[in-house]
Structure 1
Amino acid sequence: MNDKGLVNFRDIGGIRVPSGKLQSGYFFRSGQIAGISQEQTAFLQDQCRIRDVYDFRSTDEVKQAPDSAISGAKYYHIDILSDKTSNGASLGAMITDGNKVHENMLKTYESIVLSQSAQQGYHDFMTDLLADDAPILFHCFAGKDRTGFAAAVILKVAGADDQQIMDDYLLTNQLRVKANEDLLNRFKNEMNQQQLDNLHTALLVDADYLRHANDVLLEHFGSFDGYLKNGLDLPSDYIARFREKFVTD
């Protein structure tokens, strides 16, 4: 499928899991879709048949760069990190002084697992998946952290193994090469070299981040099932219902 140059865009379906295959054409992830072209909008509308768009960005991010409208699609804003005073996954917070980007990103992933806004947001998102048959697009700013974790949860629920989940997660670094270069060029006259280096690091995903999120999840909830039940407040038969709906033989 030609993605028409949409940033960090992909269908996470189609992978083999023990009970079959996660259906293609339902779960699309991307970076923000602000100011996209008419051709890109038509692609999302006509070829992907997107009917629901989930935007995980902060209220400020949404105000600064509202999503382009996709005809016939409903839009849902779920601010995953609204509990976090400084939204570490937003562009502004990525550009920290010193060499603390890696450390800050690990803290952001702790918030993605443990903050009330994230748990409520992912609860709403995962609940909606079962209530709807329509293809969805979910995204944040770069489509890498808040979105990357959401994709990991969907894949894990579907029955994907850790390597399949990590492969999808790390694909972001290949799919954001041009977008990252463009961002760095945009800021090269406004930032010192340290800030540019920090920004570059912050625009990449690192296997450490997702592994850390998993460690935090296991430490607080005991298991992935425990996270779904006690973190996201999903019913105990959620996985079975999801697989019945979206995993085909």
Structure 2
Amino acid sequence: MNDKGLVNFRDIGGIQVPTGTLKPRFFFRSGAISGLNQVQSSFLKEACRIRDIYDFRSTDEVQQAPDTTISGTDYIHLDILSDKTANGASLGAMITSGNQVRQNMLKTYESIVLSQSAQRGYREFLLGLLQDHQPVLFHCFAGKDRTGFAAAIILKIAGANNQQIMADYLLTNQLRTKANQALLDQFRDQMTEQQLDNLHTALMVDADYLTHARDVLLNQFGTFDHYLTDGLGLPSDFVAEFRNLYVAN
């Protein structure tokens, strides 16, 4: 599918799982969708048939760069990391924090699993998938961390294995190449070499981040199913209901 220049955009459906195939053209992920042109807006509305847009960014991020309005869609803002960003954690803080970017990213993924705001947000997101049963686009700023974990949850619920989940997660580094370079070029005259290096690191995903999130999840909840029921508060039959709707035999 031609992404029409949308950053880090893809359909995560179509993969084979033990019980069939995760249906394509239902779950689209991307980076921020502010400032879209008419071709891009029409692509999301007409070709992708997007009906719900889930925005995982902070309130500040949304105010600075609101999503382009696409007629016929419902917009849902879920501030996944509001608990963390309220305490001063941000991309900007990571950039200026010496050489601690990787450590900060690992802490961010802990918050993505354990913070109340993340658990509330992912719960609402997943319940919405069952209620509406129509194509959705979910995104954050870069479409890599908050969005990457959401995609991992969907794929895991569908029955994907760890290799399939990681492959989708790491695809971000390929699909963000141009956007990352543009950001580096934009700030090249305003940052030190250390800060630029930090920015480059912060804009990338790393297998260690998602693996760390998985380890934190299992340490806290024991199993992925317990994360869904005890962490997110989803009903015990959620996985079965999801697969009934979205996994084709």
Measured against the shorter chain, the TM-score band is over 0.9
CA-atom RMSD in angstroms: 0.9
Cα deviation for residue 87 of structure 1 reads 5.9
Counterpart residue type for residue 97 of structure 2: D
Name the CA distance, whole Å, in 2 between partners of 1:128 and 1:53. Answer: 11
Q: For 2:25 and 2:110, how far apart are their aligned partners in 1?
A: 30
Q: Is the 8 A contact 1:112 1:146 kept in 2?
A: yes
Where in structure 1 do 4 or more consecutive aligned residues deviate above 6 Å?
none
**Cα separation, partners in 2 of 1:208 and 1:87, compared to 1, 3 Å:** farther
Unaligned runs of 5+ in 1: none
**Paired residues of 2:94 and 2:100 also in contact (CA < 8 A):** no
Aligned-partner Cα distance in 2 for 1:96–1:234 = 38
Say if 2:117 is the partner of 1:138.
no
Residue 83 of structure 2 aligns to a residue in which SS?
coil
Distance 1:61 1:151, change over 3 A: same
The Cα shift of 1:97 comes to 2.8
Letter of the structure 2 residue corresponding to residue 210 of structure 1:
L
TM-score by length of 1: 0.98
Matched letter for residue 23 of structure 2: Q
User: Post-superposition shift, 1:65?
Assistant: 0.2
Alignment partner, residue 235 of structure 1 = 235
What's the CA shift for 1:94? 3.4
Query: How far 1:178 moved relative to its partner?
Result: 0.1
Q: How do 1:74-153 residues align onto structure 2 when only pairs under 5 Å count?
A: 74-84=74-84, 85-86=86-87, 88=89, 90-153=90-153
- 2:197 pairs with 1:197: yes
Q: Residue deviations 1:52-93, cap 9 Å, x none?
A: 0000000000000000011100100000000113464x4323
Tell me if structure 2 keeps the 8 A contact 1:58–1:79: yes
Counterpart CA distance in 1 for 2:94 and 2:185 is 16
- 1:66: which partner in 2? 66
Q: CA separation in 2, counterparts of 1:156 and 1:87?
A: 31
User: Quick one: distance in 1 between partners of 2:245 and 2:88?
Assistant: 34
AA aligned opposite 2:216: V
Asked whether the equivalents of residues 32 and 140 of structure 2 are also in contact (C-alpha less than 8 Å), the reply is: yes
Contact 1:18 1:159 in 2 (8 A): yes
- Deviation, structure 1 residue 171: 0.1
The yes-or-no answer on 1:176 pairing with 2:192 is no
1:57 has 2:57 as partner: yes
Q: Which amino acid aligns with 1:2?
A: N
Contact 2:26 2:135 in 1 (8 A): yes
Letter in 2 for 1:179: A
Shift of 1:217: 0.2
- Which residue identity is paired with 1:73? T
Q: Deviations over 1:103-150 (max 9, x none)?
A: 000000000000000000000000000001210000000000000000
* Map of 1:12 onto structure 2: 12
**Runs of at least 5 residues in structure 2 that lack an aligned partner in the other structure:** none
Give the SS at the match of 2:82.
coil
In 2: Cα distance, 1:123 partner to 1:153 partner: 11
In structure 1, how many angstroms separate the alpha carbons of the residues matched to 2:115 and 2:233?
14
